Structure 1
Amino acid sequence: MRELTFAGFTKKYVEELSVEHTTAIYKLLREAVTQNARLKEPLYLYAVSNGRLKTLLTASKKTAFYDEYLRLSKEFTCPELLNGLEAGTSELAQEYQKVWRSFCSVKGKVKRDERVKNMMAEKIKRLQEEKEVTTYRICKDLGLNNANVNHWLKNGCNGKVSMSTARRVLQYMDSYFAVQS
């Protein structure tokens, strides 16, 4: 799985915030100015991190955002801006820093999910051993792909199952354990 980058995150973020679900700078700017002020800060960070700042400055020339965008572009180069956000020393307004914190939260979710899936797998394997329940039986009862669940439990390949599938297997084992006792 590819690692999430700030450029990729901001692209997806502005697309999701946009009413039109677009990443076109001119459309996003028009929307930010007329109906969706929440796009202002993410749009700037999207443009900077994706090498489209020049386009944004050109597009925003006759808008209320231009002076702020221009000031920011002169104050911070792209690396300085990203390094400041990463280090937590950025002098950017809180609204810009919120976008960075959202990125950190999303990026950290993958690692948290993997850690949780590992803990679930360990508990499931322990319960399987105690009650002599095979992975085949679990998959048959739950209608899951045996190869994927087996690969997850035996080899620790967390990408083979979703969090919801891992939860279902754990709930099944917990209930199986309770019923059989």
Structure 2
Amino acid sequence: MNLTFKGFLRLYCRELTGLKTDNLRKLRDSVATTMPAAAEALMVFAAVQDKARYLASISEGTWMERSYAQMAELLDDPEEVSFFLQSPEAPPRYRAVWNAYIARRYAIAGDRLIIAGIREQTLQAMKGRDVTVYRLCKDLGLNKGNIYAFLSKGDNTKVSQGTARRILEYACKAS
């Protein structure tokens, strides 16, 4: 999975507000009343969509009005948002949005490295034992195509870390 910054922001705003929408007005209402911690993420989400000025204009009369107007000026170019957030000029609460993205993005890469290590252990455990991929899939109720791609081709995106661990446990117990 290739997590883009815009995709992350979409999910992050939904997570922070508890809403399942990308509607800036609804998200703004949530930030203005019950979820102020999502304010910076919402502005950055609007900026990457080239809607920072729009969000600032619909935020008039709320507690975010002044800060959103200032940030709309700084986040005017959607192509430059990520560069600005990494710069020392970015306010710390806005830099935190970028840092959350980096943490989530590299967590996925770290997970894939762990899955690769589990794959190697599984292949070692399967050697010399009477464990076939077919039997493993049948006993664990797994999709054969995904497990073949994982074990034979080394495609670490085909299984979750939990599934990889289940496969390893099965391979270690089988005799």
| TM-score of Structure 1 vs Structure 2, range by shorter chain | 0.7 to 0.9
- Cα drift, residue 75 of structure 1: 3.6
Contact 1:11 1:46 in 2 (8 A): yes
Instruction: State the Cα RMSD in Å.
Output: 2.0
- Cα drift, residue 64 of structure 1: 2.2
**What aligned pairs does 1:37-116 form with structure 2 within 5 A after superposition?**
37-78=36-77, 79-85=79-85, 88-116=86-114
Identical aligned residues as a percent: 30
Instruction: Write the letter of the residue equivalent to 2:94.
Output: Y
The DSSP-based 3-state class of the residue aligned with 2:127 is helix
Contact 2:12 2:41 in 1 (8 A): yes
Contact 2:44 2:81 in 1 (8 A): no
Q: Which has the higher contact order (CA 8 A, sep 6+)?
A: 2
Distance 1:127 1:44 in 2: 50
Distance 2:154 2:172 in 1: 20
User: Alpha carbons of 1:92 and 1:145: their partners in 2 closer, same or farther (altered >3 Å)?
Assistant: same
Residue-by-residue CA offset, 1:120-150 (whole Å, 9 max, x unaligned): 1111111111324222222222222233212
Q: Which residue of 2 aligns with 1:171?
A: 169
Distance 1:11 1:142 in 2: 35
Instruction: Write the letter of the residue equivalent to 1:82.
Output: S
Structure 2 length-normalised TM: 0.86
Q: Which residue of 2 aligns with 1:127?
A: 125
- Cα drift, residue 45 of structure 1: 0.7
Distance 2:123 2:75 in 1: 52
User: Alpha carbons of 1:76 and 1:19: their partners in 2 closer, same or farther (altered >3 Å)?
Assistant: closer
Residue-by-residue CA offset, 1:158-179 (whole Å, 9 max, x unaligned): 2322222111001112333xxx
Distance 2:137 2:59 in 1: 56
Q: Which residue of 2 aligns with 1:152?
A: 150
Structure 1 length-normalised TM: 0.84
Unaligned segments of structure 1, at least 5 residues: none
Of stretches 75-84 and 165-174 in structure 1, the one that deviates more from structure 2 is: 75-84
- Cα drift, residue 77 of structure 1: 4.0
Distance 1:146 1:75 in 2: 51
Residue-by-residue CA offset, 1:61-116 (whole Å, 9 max, x unaligned): 2222121122223345434441133xx43332322222211111221233222222
Higher helix share: 1
Contact 1:25 1:55 in 2 (8 A): no
The DSSP-based 3-state class of the residue aligned with 1:111 is helix
Of stretches 56-65 and 16-25 in structure 1, the one that deviates more from structure 2 is: 16-25
Q: May I ask how many residue pairs the two structures share in their alignment?
A: 174
User: Alpha carbons of 1:141 and 1:27: their partners in 2 closer, same or farther (altered >3 Å)?
Assistant: closer
